[in-house]
Amino acid sequence: MLDVTKGEEQSLNRAMGASCLEYEPTIPTRFMIGTENGIVISGNRKGKTPVEKLGAQYKTHYGPVYALQRNPAFVKNFLTVGDWTVRIWSEDCKESSIIWTSFHRALLTSGSWSPTRYSVFYTTRVDGTLDVWDILQNQREACLSVKVCDEPLRCLRCHEYGELVAVGNDR
């Protein structure tokens, strides 16, 4: 639970629940938190005050942030997955995402960058589909969509060398 209001006094009544966490080992003092309210908060472990510790906020989605990950090559850029869209953000631009997908018919549940092709990311949907996106080729629709199962896909993980992608459902 987080209270992200600007001020020294924290209150549990104003707190938001965290839905996902992002930590990049190459930036050991910084982390990002996705909330159930659709906000991403950028944090700094070395901050002295609550305002310094939870510095920047991005209003990313209408509902919970289901996935949050920095780009492996351009760590100032990160993707968020929530509601029916994927959004790509830059830490330098807090007002709006720099790229976003159109609304999908099925709710998106997870997302991840490719560890080897830095313009490629993957998403999963509640209709059991895995989508592969390459923003250098097409920003409007996925390059490949694979119907994996008839149940909702809930998570995905990329192999560290980019050779495989694993997806999981409720079972």
Task: Convert the pLDDT of each residue in 120-153 to its tens digit.
Answer: 999 999 999 999 999 999 989 999 999 999 999 9
Average pLDDT over residues 154-166: 95
Per-residue b or e along 74-100, where b marks 16 or more CB atoms closer than 10 Å to that residue's CB: eeebbbbbbbbbbbbbbeeeeeebeeb
pLDDT > 70 in the chain, percent: 92
Statement to judge: residues 112 and 30 lie in one domain? no
Statement to judge: residues 150 and 168 lie in one domain? yes
Q: How many domains does the chain have?
A: 2
Statement to judge: residues 157 and 79 lie in one domain? no
Domain residues for the domain of 18 are: 1-97
Q: Which amino acid is at 33?
A: I
Statement to judge: residues 110 and 91 lie in one domain? no
Statement to judge: residues 163 and 118 lie in one domain? yes
Give pLDDT, residue 2. 53
Band (8; pLDDT cuts 50, 70, 90): low
Band (114; pLDDT cuts 50, 70, 90): very high
The model carries a pTM of 0.87
Average pLDDT over residues 34-60: 89
3-class DSSP assignment, residue 28: coil
